[in-house]
Amino acid sequence: MGLIQREIERIGIATIGISIVRDYSEQVQPPRTVFLRWPFGHPLGEPGNAAQQRAVLLKALDALYQIEEPGTIIDLPFRWRREKYPDYQPATEAC
């Protein structure tokens, strides 16, 4: 996805990648990435856990605005099946 992100960014559209394999993201160097240490096939979270998935998406969108240097990877603090998400709110508000 990182290679596709670069092409999309080239035409002026900002992108954010969600990675669960840090080595690949470091090698490909997409413009902006958030990283989660989670199992393959679950970049947004556990199936049916809408609160968890929403938290990941909101944190990724926050990173879209926070990351200024291309190739930056932000490690998200979430732990697989060990977090409670019902009150999660994004750190910043989108414009």
Predicted confidence (pLDDT) per residue in 46-59, tens digit: 998 888 999 999 99
Confidence check: pLDDT of 94 > 70 = no
- Section 79-85 average pLDDT: 78
Structural domain spans, the chain: 2-75
92 backbone φψ class: left, alpha, beta (φ>0; ψ -120 to 50): beta
Q: How far apart are CA 77 and CA 30, in angstroms?
A: 20
What would the mean pLDDT of 55-75 be, rounded to a whole number? Answer: 93
Residue 86 pLDDT: 67
pLDDT in tens, 11-39: 999 999 999 999 999 999 999 999 999 99
